A and B are shown apart, each in its own frame.
Chain A
């Protein structure tokens, strides 16, 4: 199942080949060795995620995914209002503040929902960033260059979903240094960070950590490909997105 999914994602993405490495174009242009696209990289015209909240709706289950994501990306553990988080959970009223009604199905209202960056199609965080440290890749992923970010936190004011965290202090103080993921860099203080849709894994042909760990409750694929898995579930199930009124067109869909 996983293999066939990868194959069609690959096929769908041929047109977009190389785009995954677009941010590195500058390097190549400066005359360093040519950058090669990983042969196993998977591509899409627009990556999207569908979360099945009928299957994934408990704090424990979501915490497990968050732990996997945070370990994989060396996200520091910090308590309090200056915390850093890429994936977390919250209640229905907090997740969909404008989409409540007083007589909602209790079962839905009591679920907890996984939250992460929505990788919006019209991302205000990209619009406001003064240095292009936050940028949108051609495959729709809203990515960050931690080395360029000046820490002005305009993107945090701009994001209507509270998806971004800032390293108020040294993030390495909040990391278990004996248990780092050597494959992914740690950050320094004074920069913003957020979920990156696991671009580093897509580049080597793997799906996002949370999707892999979700045991089928999260779907990931190309929104522009009518035959993709995400389009299939979107066709079959009723889904909603967070804060549609903000006009950002989130790429994360929730099956209710």
Chain B
């Protein structure tokens, strides 16, 4: 099926060329980092993980979130989702690759990376994180590719792939739990030392991940003949809403525990992030709260939730909010105050951002190619296609022929 990725419009090639340019620019920054070392980053002795690891943390959520489409389909026979499953799986592939790349650019001696495999160390969570991310990548490649190929030949999905799909559903929870364990359980890092961290990770993954997926699919609808079934979309938006409410509820639990108990170690990171850090960071953290509040308001109100014009903006607010919380605050709050009860501000450098841009562009490239293949196949076999009336062919559209003609 790979050949489907090769034929495309000018716009398609233009976009790919644009991504390749971004990748090349980022790669130059990475080569520079390889030559002089990680001193090109804003990290230091006290804040020893930075933007790279926080992106890993955030993207693991994106990878895990595909399960929010796969699970209803297979566990609840919610068949409306059927034709979107492949996009969840393909998104997970791109996200896993980005996660692995972020680990690679973060380590000081990448050529020794295989030491993790030559000297397997089961007591290290990083070892398990590598296992689960690679495993999830493999599962999604296998399930996604096999099912799509079967679709293309108008064949039922092979039976042998079922166990792998069920495994991948459970696996999705594991990748985010294990990534949370990377942080959770480190003595002396109070912001991370909380039993609810894994649950918070899952909640934020299950709102931010589907939100990103929906946005990407909305773009996909614009540039292809693919059209999401209405019900599938509204189910997904409801999942985003519940997950975001739970996510913020968990955050409030942390705030309560910290301030009611009055234990300094628990209060200090929150006080730092929301009150004492540089004005820039404090503003960003409050932006997180405000955007989270706005997006929840818009999502729980049916009128706004079902407004397709407003929806992309709501999702953007939600994604920014969750990113500020999990992709930025979590990391900085974990390292500050330092073990010496002092503050070492962290801010990524331009080069760090360029390298990250390279990885995000690689991710976008993978998504583009995989989604191109998937939408081409769907077009070939006539799944989830846009009808003249604007509905999806899966909608059981009731629009009359006249309306359709008027629209067209």
Residue positions of A touching B, CB distance < 8 A: 80-84, 90, 93-95, 97-98, 124, 126-133, 148-154, 156-162, 165-170, 188-192, 243, 245-248
Chain B contacts with A in 35-53, Cβ cutoff 8 A: 36-39, 41, 43-49
Q: Is A160 touching B344 in the complex (CB atoms < 8 A)?
A: no
In the bound complex, residues from chain A placing their C-beta under 8 Å from that of B341 are 93-94, 97
In the bound complex, residues from chain A placing their C-beta under 8 Å from that of B124 are 127-130, 154
Q: Is A166 touching B45 in the complex (CB atoms < 8 A)?
A: yes
What's the nearest-Cβ distance from chain B to residue A134, in Å? 10
In the bound complex, residues from chain B placing their C-beta under 8 Å from that of A157 are 48-49, 183, 186, 189, 334-335
The answer to whether B220 has its CB under 8 Å from any CB of chain A is: no
Q: Is the interface of A mostly helix, strand, loop or mixed?
A: loop
Q: How far is the CA of A84 from the CA of B38 in the complex (A)?
A: 14
Nearest CB in chain A to that of B335: its residue = A157
Besides A152-B103, A157-B49, 7 more A-B contacts (Cβ < 8 Å) are A81-B44, A152-B107, A154-B182, A162-B46, A162-B339, A191-B109, A248-B187
In the bound complex, residues from chain A placing their C-beta under 8 Å from that of B264 are 98
A-B contact pairs, 29 of them (CB 8 A): A82-B44, A90-B340, A94-B340, A94-B342, A95-B340, A97-B340, A129-B124, A130-B121, A130-B127, A131-B112, A131-B116, A132-B119, A150-B112, A151-B108, A153-B106, A153-B108, A157-B186, A159-B188, A160-B339, A166-B38, A167-B108, A168-B37, A168-B38, A170-B36, A170-B37, A243-B187, A243-B188, A243-B339, A247-B187
Q: Is B37 touching A161 in the complex (CB atoms < 8 A)?
A: no
Chain B contacts with A in 260-274, Cβ cutoff 8 A: 264-265
In the bound complex, residues from chain B placing their C-beta under 8 Å from that of A151 are 38, 107-109, 112
Given contacts A124-B186, A152-B106, contact A81 B344 (CB under 8 A): yes
Pairs of residues from A and B, 9 with the lowest C-beta to C-beta distance, nearest first: A151-B108, A160-B188, A190-B108, A81-B44, A169-B39, A168-B39, A246-B187, A156-B48, A189-B37
Q: How far is the CA of A124 from the CA of B344 in the complex (A)?
A: 22
What's the nearest-Cβ distance from chain A to residue B264, in Å? 8
Q: Is B38 touching A190 in the complex (CB atoms < 8 A)?
A: yes
Interface size class of B (residues with CB under 8 A): 35 or more
The answer to whether B393 has its CB under 8 Å from any CB of chain A is: no
Chain B contacts with A in 195-254, Cβ cutoff 8 A: none
Instruction: Tally inter-chain residue pairs, CB-CB below 8 A.
Output: 147
Nearest CB in chain B to that of A189: its residue = B37
Nearest CB in chain A to that of B265: its residue = A98
In the bound complex, residues from chain A placing their C-beta under 8 Å from that of B335 are 157
Q: How far is the CA of A51 from the CA of B126 in the complex (A)?
A: 35
Q: Is B115 touching A153 in the complex (CB atoms < 8 A)?
A: no
What's the nearest-Cβ distance from chain B to residue A153, in Å? 4
Given contacts A152-B106, A157-B186, A243-B188, contact A166 B121 (CB under 8 A): no
The answer to whether B125 has its CB under 8 Å from any CB of chain A is: yes
Q: How far is the CA of A73 from the CA of B351 in the complex (A)?
A: 32
The answer to whether B194 has its CB under 8 Å from any CB of chain A is: no
Q: How far is the CA of A156 from the CA of B371 in the complex (A)?
A: 40
Given contacts A81-B45, A94-B340, A169-B39, contact A161 B108 (CB under 8 A): no
Q: Which of A94, A126, A148, A152 has the most B CB atoms < 10 Å from its CB?
A: A152
Q: Is B344 touching A148 in the complex (CB atoms < 8 A)?
A: no
What's the nearest-Cβ distance from chain B to residue A100, in Å? 9
What's the nearest-Cβ distance from chain A to residue B45, in Å? 6
Chain B contacts with A in 104-146, Cβ cutoff 8 A: 106-110, 112-113, 115-116, 119, 121, 123-127, 130
Q: Is A131 touching B108 in the complex (CB atoms < 8 A)?
A: no
The answer to whether B297 has its CB under 8 Å from any CB of chain A is: no
Q: Which of B123, B124, B334 has the most A CB atoms < 10 Å from its CB?
A: B124
Q: How far is the CA of A133 from the CA of B126 in the complex (A)?
A: 13
Q: How far is the CA of A162 from the CA of B265 in the complex (A)?
A: 16
The answer to whether B149 has its CB under 8 Å from any CB of chain A is: no
Nearest CB in chain B to that of A171: its residue = B37
Q: How far is the CA of A151 from the CA of B36 in the complex (A)?
A: 14
What's the nearest-Cβ distance from chain A to residue B182, in Å? 8
Q: Is B123 touching A246 in the complex (CB atoms < 8 A)?
A: no
Among B106, B115, B189, point to the contact of A133 (Cβ < 8 A): B115
